[in-house]
Amino acid sequence: MPYELIGISVLWFFLFGYVIIASIDFGAGFFNAYSVFVRKNHIISRIIKRYLSPVWEVTNVFLVFFFVGMVGFFPKTAYYYGTVLLVPIHISIVLLAIRGSYYAFTTYGKLDKNMWTYLYGISGLLIPASLSTVLTISEGGFIYEQGNSLSLDYWALFTSPLTWSIVILSLTSVLYISAVFLTWYAHKANDSRATELMRRYALIWSVPAIVTATGIIVELRTHNPLHFQNILNLWWMFGLSALFFICTVYLLWSRKNYGFAFLALVMQFFIAFFAYGFSHYPYLLYPYLTITESLTSQGMAVALIVAFTAGICLLLPSLYLLLRLFLFNKDYVQGKLK
């Protein structure tokens, strides 16, 4: 396999990991804040806190891994995206910083005022919204060249229906993914009231999530016809993804096997995410930047792949240990272990 394909697959895979883990995290923060607001926090706060505590820093690393790897494998992206994204990504950094540190401040430092819970919940929804502008910009049409520098056309970005569809998609998927996961987690903890509440949220959010996802495909038809055509060519993958979606909703609806429901959800997003990636190929930034012309030097590509393989050999057992001790540990999940 050519180096650029290995590189982009690895990065896409880690980005997918971030999307799932961060969605659970962001959504959990929001549901926690919402439950405080409607005074239902006695039902779900405990479950949410028990899940979040041991994994909060690991979530962040997936994101760091993605952007460091991106610059490593495809250095030209640093030039294009770096120049253009100055404002949107800086806003994301501020939100990530406030959210990440206030988690530690409230959990360990007992700054437990409701205001922080709300701030935490809201910032969690703004982060995916601000990060997803990158996806919008990658479709092309929002950048203009001025002399020898690139600029972002904010007006075009803010008035484009595509932007807002992608923002809404990221919000609804965050809430949907998170709710399905927490349903399963609460069920494992034998907490039937929390399970019921989260199940209801999951079913509520499943509808807008699938509607916006479909809507974006329609919008691409006018915005980027080439990309739209590629998506049509991969129709069977999106169809498969839709089947998994139906599977999740069915299982939730009939209160059966929440573990499998979550697995089907992961499969649904995995297939759609990769199909979206394939259909974007070969562009990293339409129409300026393709994957082949931005690949790093040969020597560096080899070195990165070797380092990645070695790193994964170290990481997978460690991640497994983390999951064994917390997520898949019945006594921990049920609160019998501290």
Partner 1 sequence: MDTEQSVFYSRLLTELTLSFHIIYATIGVGIPLLILLAQWMGIKKQDEHYILLARRWTRGYVITVAVGVVTGTAIGLQLNLLWPTFMELAGNSIALPMFMETFAFFFEAIFLGIYLYTWDRFEDQRKHMLLLVPVAIGASFSAVFITMMNSFMNTPQGFDLINGQLMNVEPLKAMFNPSMPTKVTHVVVTAYMTSAFVLASIGAFRILQGSNHVYHKKALYLTIKVGLIFSIAAAIIGDFSGKFLAEYQPEKLAAMEWHFETEENAPLTLFGILTDEEEIKYSLELPYALSILAHGYPNAEVIGLDQIPDDETPPLYIHYMFNIMVMIGMGVTLIGLIFLIGAWLRRKFVFNRKFLWLIAATGPLSMIAIEAGWWLAEVGRQPWVLRGILRTEDAATTSNQVDLMLYLFVGLYIILGVASIIVLTRMFKNNPIERELKERQTEGSIY
Closer residue to partner 1 in complex, CB, 207/303:
303
Interface mask (CB under 8 A) for partner 1, residues 137-176, using x and -?
-----------xxxx-------------------------
DSSP 40-58: -HHHHHHHHHHHHGGGHHH
- Closest C-alpha among 4, 5, 3, 9 to residue 312: 9
| Min CB(59)–partner 1 separation in Å | 9
| 64 Cβ neighbours under 8 A, 6+ residues apart | none
Closer residue to partner 1 in complex, CB, 45/151:
151
CB atoms within 10 A of CB 211: 12
| Min CB(229)–partner 1 separation in Å | 31
Closer residue to partner 1 in complex, CB, 100/208:
100
| 246 Cβ neighbours under 8 A, 6+ residues apart | none
| Min CB(63)–partner 1 separation in Å | 7
Interface mask (CB under 8 A) for partner 1, residues 191-220, using x and -?
------------------------------
Closer residue to partner 1 in complex, CB, 99/199:
99
Interface positions, 105-134, toward partner 1 (CB under 8 A): 105, 108-111
DSSP 136-157: HHHTSSSEEEETTEEEE-HHHH
Closer residue to partner 1 in complex, CB, 150/234:
150
Interface positions, 37-56, toward partner 1 (CB under 8 A): 53-56
Work out which of 6, 43, 78, 247 binds partner 1, going by CB under 8 A: 78
Closer residue to partner 1 in complex, CB, 234/327:
327
Interface positions, 270-329, toward partner 1 (CB under 8 A): 296-300, 303-304, 307-308, 311, 314-315, 318-319, 321-322, 325-326
CA angle centred on 119, ends 114 and 121, rounded to 5°: 95
Work out which of 3, 36, 45, 60 binds partner 1, going by CB under 8 A: 60
Residue 146 burial by Cβ neighbours in a 10 Å radius (0-12, 13-18, 19+): exposed
75 interacts with partner 1 by CB under 8 A? yes
Residue 155 burial by Cβ neighbours in a 10 Å radius (0-12, 13-18, 19+): exposed
| Min CB(212)–partner 1 separation in Å | 27
Strand intervals (E) in the chain? 143-146, 149-152, 283-285, 289-290
| Min CB(100)–partner 1 separation in Å | 4
User: Which stretch, 18-26, 75-83, 226-234, 261-269, contacts partner 1 (CB under 8 A)?
Assistant: 75-83
**d(Cα 47, Cα 106) in Å, to the nearest integer?**
16
Work out which of 17, 27, 29, 72 binds partner 1, going by CB under 8 A: 72
Interface positions, 81-110, toward partner 1 (CB under 8 A): 81-83, 85-87, 89-90, 92-94, 96-98, 100-105, 108-110
- Reported as half-sphere exposure (CB side, CA atoms, 13 A), residue 157 has a value of 22
| Min CB(116)–partner 1 separation in Å | 10
Question: Which residues, in sequence order, are bridge partners of residue 144?
Answer: 151
Closer residue to partner 1 in complex, CB, 98/237:
98
**Could you tell me the CA-to-CA distances from 263 to 199, 289, 315, 330 in Å, in that order?**
15, 35, 22, 18
Closer residue to partner 1 in complex, CB, 16/308:
308
Three-state DSSP class for 77? helix
